[in-house]
Chain A
Amino acid sequence: MATMVSTRPVIQKGAGGGPGMPGPNGNGSKRGPFREPDSRANRYRIGMWVGLASIAMMFTSLSSAYIVRSGTAADWVPLRIPRVMFLSTALILISSVTIEVARRKLKQGFTERYSRYLLLTGILGVAFLGAQIISWRQLASQGIYVATHPHSSFFYLLTGAHGVHIAGGLLALGVLWLRSRRKSGNSPGFAATRQATADAVSIYWHFMDGLWIYLFLLLILWR
């Protein structure tokens, strides 16, 4: 037990002001600088990544159910993806561009353009949901519903779950946009927080875009 200490005092003098006085970095941390706290604004970005991890896990579990189910039984009848879904894919891709532009404009200080691009993104998002609903109705008119066969079940489920999350994102965009119309506050940290929340919502939006591409390809290619 060479590293066990007996009760003999073993106080060592550090790079401090002598025995009894704390060193410039305090005691107990003679190796390395004092840990400074993280900025308040960062929590929105961190929180968003953390939240996205959980959303990713849910869609992972649904994807794995999709893959397993496609292999288990003979009743798998892949349906033809409605053409309008190619439109919705284009819409959401463009909306990712517009929100990224919005975010960068804010960073550069162009708050008016930030607000306009937010609005544009929101409109594109609503259009995306509209296109999704149209595709659902097209399937329904062919007699394909949730329970018709497993591929259609997953189709409705995956697009529906994604759509719910887009709706949530639209809500956040709406809040951001309304805030952007108000006069800037001048409390300390306001600008940093505003940038951080804009960053967080755009991270979310990009993730939803990427998720859509993934789901779209999954539904088309894994049959």
Chain B
Amino acid sequence: MAEHQEDVHEVHRHPAPTGFIRKYIFSIDHKVIGIQYIMLALAAVIVGMIMSLLMRLNLSWPGTSWPILETLFPTGAPGGVMTPEFYLSLVTMHGTIMVFFVLTTAPQGGFGNYFLPIQIGAEDMAFPYLNMLSFWVTLVGFIVILLAIFVEGNQSLGEAFTALGPSFAGGSGTVGPIGGWTGYAPLSTLGKIAGPGQGAGMNLWVISIAIFCVGSLLGALNFITTLLNMRTKGMSLMRMPLTCWAWFTTAVLALLSFPVLLGGGILMLLDRIAGTSFFIPSGLYVSGLLSGTNPNFPLHTGGSPILWQHLFWFFGHPEVYIAILPGMGATSHILATFARKPVFGYRAMVFAIFAIGLLGFFVWGHHMFISGMSPYSAIAFSVLTLSIGVPSAVKTFNWLGTLWGARIRFTTAMLFAIGFVSLFVAGGITGLILGQSSLDLPMHDTYIVPAHFHLVMGVASIFGMFAALYFWFPKMFGRFMNETIGRIHFWITFIGVYTIFVPMHIMGIVGMPRRYSSFTEYRFLDSLHPLVVLVSVAAIVTITVQLLFYFNVFWSIFKGKKVTNDNPWEATTLEWTTATPPPHDNFAGVLPVVYHGPYEFAVPGAPKDYIMQTDTTAEVPSGNGHNGKH
């Protein structure tokens, strides 16, 4: 036992780093790594937003010449007018960059890395060097996918890449592959003969995703081990903040789903480079060439395009829960803090997070109802999909219960957390439509699908990140973000995103198909043009106001109002017990001891309306209020 005691209370081994490189660049400190992930996401989201802006311009004012495009991409946008393949490459890269490098980095690798160890009372993650490695691997993945923009967009660079092999032929004038972020085979496996951008751009896409998988898996390993092994004295699982439960479940989802994508990606790369036929069937005739009759189109036999879909969506569905769960955790946490009330139904919230995570593995087929897979499995997937709405609804009820009887303080963080609830309901509820196999018959691949997933991922999840940033910024940087600018940011973004995505549902009902670079070919779409323009105008405004947000972030890091109190929001969890910003080992050598649950607000008879988890003087009633359990 003596050894165990020493083993546990060992003073933090690494002395604080000195020197700019060890402190800010190649740092093993989870706090620095967390900020690095957030910065990566902030950079990636700019690229993604510019791409979506260009897409909206093309859809609303087709045929217009945009001079800047002519300068940058003379092949992809001759005369400044986007070619269809240029548009499709924007669609593909926007989706890929946003889903992977924004939604799978900042909520988990960013805020999770920074605050999980502190919230459980640990000095760092279990494997700090692995943590650093996972960030840099992710960054390399980002660089590789950005490379696709240049290799496809630039003629000479594209031709240089062809030296690596025929499937690396680039320079088609697009900004990357054109197969969508889902990369369905065989379009994605046939190379340039199937379309521009499908050469080098597609190879770089697969390689980037494979690298990202590795980075993500390393991170997930760290999160799970840290949470299981390094909780401080008194921090039982049911005393953890809901943010920790969310990060934990997200890490488990990542651990079990990313390897499947990696497997599929390897198979796809082999099909493209090594001439295998995992996903490519026999007897194809593409661009005037029959399979096996031309060096540009080697012989393929017997592969299954649907196999790619199964592998991709087995990953793809848990991935979207990876994107939203941290936001749910942050929302619960922030709602309780600024409602000055415990989270309503903490235990139910934990079970709901588990249920969402677990069920998330059994519903991937709802992306494939009309793919040609067995119609019997479609029925099973459909019923399971509708059942996953139940834990999500339970969470919504509990958020409303948290606000009921509250004393709400409307900080910017709180506004975004409330906005999360509103947007999550709006987006999630249309899952009831898309999850039914019958209704998928008219709705598949129409605009109701992006309407649904943007509201949950591209807005609700983002609002979770905004809320987290406004909330934790003071602890991270010792300064507040500007509340006035924050409010303007909130109002315009909140109203803006609804204006963008609610009309998209209507577009989907009328029948507007996804991934069309132009809607001018079909008469049944003509009536939608005013809505298309409305959406684009709203998008332009909403994207512009994010500039204010960026200004607020970077200005406040250096010039924001200084924090004078380690716990400015009067919150209860462990990150608010430590210095601002926390020292290198988080707790200055003395690990905290936890006596209470994470959300002891408004305890009757307590001197203040909150009791911190480390508070040794306060008594919290057992029985009533805790439902007898704590």
Contacts and interface: CB of A to CB of B under 8 A. Distances in A.
Are A and B a genuine interacting pair, yes or no? Answer: yes
A26 B232 contact: no
Nearest to A7: B604
Contacts of B270: 146, 153, 157
Interface stretch (B67-75, B253-261, B528-536, B552-560): B253-261
Contacts of B10: 40, 188-189
Interface string A153-165: 1000100010000
A10 B277 CA distance: 70
A42 interface: yes
Given A26-B616, A65-B263, A147-B276, A188 B7 contact: yes
A125 B523 CA distance: 67
A169 interface: no
Interface in A40-55: 40-43, 46-47, 50-51, 53-55
B587 to A, nearest CB: 13
Contacts of B276: 146-147, 150, 153
Most buried by A among B7, B230, B616, B620: B7
B407 to A, nearest CB: 12
Contacts of B226: 43
A116 to B, nearest CB: 26
B266 A28 contact: no
Interface residues of B, number: 73
B234 A35 contact: yes
A72 B279 CA distance: 11
Interface string B376-417: 000000000000000000000000000000000000000000
B255 A65 contact: no
A55 B263 CA distance: 10
Given A47-B221, A57-B260, A61-B264, A192 B618 contact: no
Say what secondary structure dominates the interface of chain B: loop
Interface in A1-43: 3-5, 7-12, 14, 16, 19-20, 22, 26-31, 34-43
A65 B278 contact: yes
A28 B263 contact: no
B163 interface: no
Interface in A164-211: 188-189, 191-192
B127 A47 contact: yes
**B8, B229, B304 pick with most chain A CB within 10 angstroms:** B229
Contact of A22 (B4, B127, B278, B617): B617
B233 A36 contact: yes
Specify which of B3, B220, B239 lies most central, judged by the most chain A CB atoms within 10 Å of its CB.
B3
Contacts of B630: 28-29, 31
Nearest to A38: B229
Interface in B176-225: 217, 220-222, 224-225
Interface string A123-148: 00000000000000000000000110
B8 A39 contact: yes
B627 A26 contact: no
A72 B7 contact: no
B595 interface: yes
Given A61-B263, A157-B266, A46 B622 contact: no
A74 interface: yes
Contacts of A153: 270, 274, 276-278
B277 A37 contact: no
A62 B8 CA distance: 40
A34 B233 contact: yes
Nearest to B308: A65
A11 B605 contact: yes
Interface string B579-619: 00000000000010101110010001100000000001111
7 contacts: A11-B621, A26-B595, A26-B616, A39-B4, A61-B260, A61-B314, A188-B6
Interface of B: 3-4, 6-8, 10, 126-127, 217, 220-222, 224-226, 228-236, 239, 255-260, 262-264, 266-267, 270, 274-278, 281-282, 298, 301-304, 307, 310-311, 314, 591, 593, 595-597, 600, 604-605, 616-625, 627, 630
Interface of A: 3-5, 7-12, 14, 16, 19-20, 22, 26-31, 34-43, 46-47, 50-51, 53-55, 57-62, 64-65, 68-69, 72-76, 146-147, 149-150, 153, 157, 161, 188-189, 191-192
